[in-house]
Each structure stands twice: as C-alpha cells, then as structure tokens.
A = this chain, B = another copy of it.
Amino acid sequence: MPAQDNRCESDPVDPARACTVREALDRVGGKWSIGILIAASTGPVRFTELERRVEGISRRMLTLTLRNLERDGLLVRRVHPTVPPRVEYTATPMARELYESLVAIHRWAERHREAISAARVAYDREHAVVKTTPPV
C-alpha cells in the first residue's frame, strides 16, 4: 500500500488531470483507513474514542491517518476551544457514500479470517521447500 503520505502525481491545478482511480483508492486502502472511516461515519468521534475503537493503532498512526483523510476531504476536524481540548472527527457526505461497502468488507473479513488463515497454512505447506511425496 501505498503511502499514507500519498499525493496525486498529476498536476493538481488541472482538474482534468485529477487523481487516478488508483490514487483515490490509496486513501481507502491504507492500513487503518477503513476502521477509522467506519467509526466516523455514524457521527462525530473524539480522538481518544477512535484510539479505543480502532484496535491496535498507535497514537502516531491515528494522527497521520486522520490528517490524510481530512486532507482528501473524507473527514472534517472540529476543534472545540475548551479545556481540556475536545476534537471531533466526522465523515463527510462523500466518505459516507462508502459506508455500506466498508462495513460489508469489514464483515467479510470477520466471516473469513479463519478460512484465510487456513488457506495460508495449506499453501505454505504445499509450497514449502519442494517436498512432494518424500522418498521412503
């Protein structure tokens, strides 16, 4: 995947030479994007809440991914000037169009993670150091 820091290589000033489909997909394809987008699609979510909901993410990656999603117009960041600070992230309408598909993919992964794991084991066994029907 691609880069969290990815940007369109095409001249950004010319709208006709906008992101390619692949470049647009990179934002969704990131390691943490799907989880974050799902969490932020049902309503505003605070930073720490995201940190809890997206299991395994580091503070750094959460920040970076949030910034990139914001930059691409998929998330809106709202800062409440209170103390302690309160920052909320919300999916934009454009991002919310992805919600159904994202959830579908997420559930697919849940359904099949064991099958995938098993497939890997089987594949690795068969393709391990050419050992087909060993002699005697």
A88, CB-defined interface residue at 8 Å: no
B24 touching A34 by the CB < 8 A rule?
no
Do B29 and A34 have beta carbons less than 8 Å apart? yes
| Inter-chain contact A12/B106, CB cutoff 8 Å | no
Known contacts A20-B113, A22-B31, A119 near B15 by CB under 8 Å: no
A74 neighbours in B (Cβ, 8 Å) = 116
A109:B35 contact, CB within 8 angstroms = no
A2 on interface, CB distance cutoff 8 Å: yes
- Cβ-neighbour of A56 out of B22, B34, B105 (below 8 A): B22
* Residue ID in chain B nearest A122 by CB atoms: B73
Question: A22, A100, A114, A117: which has the most chain B beta carbons within 10 Å?
Answer: A117
Q: 20 additional contacts, CB 8 Å, given A1-B30, A13-B121, A29-B34?
A: A2-B31, A7-B120, A8-B120, A15-B118, A19-B113, A19-B114, A19-B116, A21-B109, A25-B34, A25-B105, A28-B105, A71-B119, A71-B123, A72-B120, A73-B116, A73-B120, A98-B104, A100-B101, A101-B105, A101-B108
